[in-house]
Amino acid sequence: METTLRGVGVSHGVAIGEVRHMGTAVLEPPAKQIPAEEAEREQGRARQAVEAVAADLIARGNLAGGEAQHVLEAQAMMAQDPELMADVERRIAVGSTAERAVYDAFAAYRALLANAGEYLAGRVADLDDVRNRIVARLLGVPMPGVPDSDEPYVLIARDLAPADTALLDPALVLGFVTEEGGPTSHSAILARALGVPAVVALPGAGELAEGTVIAVDGSTGEIFVEPSAEKRAEMESAAAARKAALSASSGPGATSDGHKVPLLANVGGPGDVPAAVEAGAEGVGLFRTEFLFLDDSKQAPSEEKQVAAYRAVLEAFPEGRVVVRVLDAGADKPLDFLTPADEPNPALGVRGLRSLLDHPDVLHTQLTALSKAAQGLPVHLEVMAPMVADRADAKAFADACREAGLQAKFGAMVEIPSAALRARSILREVEFLSLGTNDLAQYTFAADRQVGAVSRLQDPWQPALLDLVALSAEAARAEGKSCGVCGEAASDPLLACVLTGLGVTSLSMGAVSIPYVRATLAKYTLAQCERAASAARAADSAEEARVAAQVVLSGE
């Protein structure tokens, strides 16, 4: 009998197939004592296993490229954390086996993150995966991972580690469903990059029996268990219609009555550029520069290295717009040379622009490198600061840009509610705004963006979040300046129409989402988008807002 479940849709598309479950996690190693004379040998085993796992993660990243590579390299750094390794060696010195010492050391660190309730708690799934891989290697058992299958299937997991998500074969894995995670988790971001339909935060997903046929709608978050022939035909027909619309869609983003909405790409480095160009991106709306700095957490990259990396992206969009976010360090992206140690709550501490203003040499070098990278190119360079809280922050950033001789537009990201509430004041210092809806939702609802239990509050359809978007867009219009969205909200085609109706002037997203958004925008007039936006803001919940917008745009 057909039943319907609902999670959070995070990657467009439809998948229909049999359920296969993720391989079980590594069992807890036995707690047994070793003689003192074996400690040195066990410490050597532990070090070898750690280095082997780190090397494997880096190799997987090199194969995957793009966003996945950055995520996996961060995991490799986690495996090699010197404090964790020192704890492992201390435990071995007092009698633990290598595998038990690794298990206990990671468990202690995991508890510290998970129980603190901080932004870093979002890294627990990544930490568990690293631990499991090291312990599996020491025990000589198969690594946890995706199941072996010759037939295509829908993958079910409690959560998916980046190392597994990055190398999923779309020819075999039709889609995936997880119990945990949220719309901005690593698994969700990588699923969109792969173009694999995905639903996260589905309670009880693990209870779906192996071999059960399910239909997954990655747009709505709906899961149909044992779907009827009629339901299958309906979903397959809708998927075929969507595919046809995508193939027919091309050119700049615009509504059906010609209102232009530039569609830009979010990129993490030169490796993401080919996909953005192929998708027809009109430029880059968010160039994350952290990838350069995360290569070595001990020191900032040289000006020369930065110039080369920035120029590679700028050259790909001649005459286009490229919006660069200066280094956003802190919280889940700590850097030894920049980030304060032992902050009680890193998400609310010294991160983003605050870190850069505390280290003006790092900011000056980056701005100078961007200036040199753009020299002689026809590209329209824009540079923005993350985590701007007020006019004083905006002025400090604009002053730093001018001091570095940067010939570009200076902007501010709206990720803190205070910036949306006082957007007009901020725009007296900078020339544009860019809404980072992921963090804006996190701070608006006090809901960690990686915690599945609060994922409903991370839904970008939340009316309170739409209100903050509208405030920012209205302020920009009053000042005659632009206001874009570069958070994951822009990748939802229906929500893209609502954002347009709210007055947003450009949309930036992962490259794979651009054709979906372009095709959907082209179906509606600006007036329809405005009516849908009003209906969504009048709702009392994210689900009601989504339905209200659908009703308006469908003409029902």
Give the DSSP letter of residue 98. H
Instruction: List, as one string, the DSSP characters of 126-194.
Output: HHHHHHHHHHHHHHT-PPP-PPP-SS-EEEEES---HHHHTT--TTTEEEEEESS--TTSHHHHHHHHH
CB-CB neighbours of 340 under 10 Å: 14
Contacts with 27 (C-beta within 8 Å, 6 or more apart), sequence order: none
Query: What is the residue type of 204?
Result: G
Q: In this structure, are residues 343 and 120 in contact, taking their beta carbons and an 8 Å threshold? A: no
Q: Closest by alpha carbon to 381, among 455, 317, 460, 464?
A: 317
| Signed CA dihedral, 153, 493, 236, 217: sign only | positive
CA atoms within 13 A on the CB side of 469: 35
Catalytic residues: 186, 486
Handedness of CA 290, 442, 504, 407 (dihedral sign): negative
Structure token digits, residue 262: 């530039």
Element of type H or E holding 4: strand 3-6
Cα distance between residue 536 and residue 317, in whole Å:
35
Half-sphere exposure of 194 (CA within 13 A, CB side): 28
Give the integer Cα–Cα distance in Å for 394 and 413.
Answer: 10
Whole-angstrom distance, CA of residue 427 vs CA of residue 486? 18
Backbone torsion region of residue 272, taken as left when φ is above 0, otherwise alpha when ψ lies between -120 and 50, otherwise beta: alpha
CA distances from 290 to 103, 175, 386, 394 (A): 30, 29, 12, 20
Write out the two tokens for 438: 């992921």
**What is the greatest pairwise CA distance in the chain?**
79
What's the token pair of residue 498?
């609502």
Other Cβ atoms closer than 10 A to 467? 14
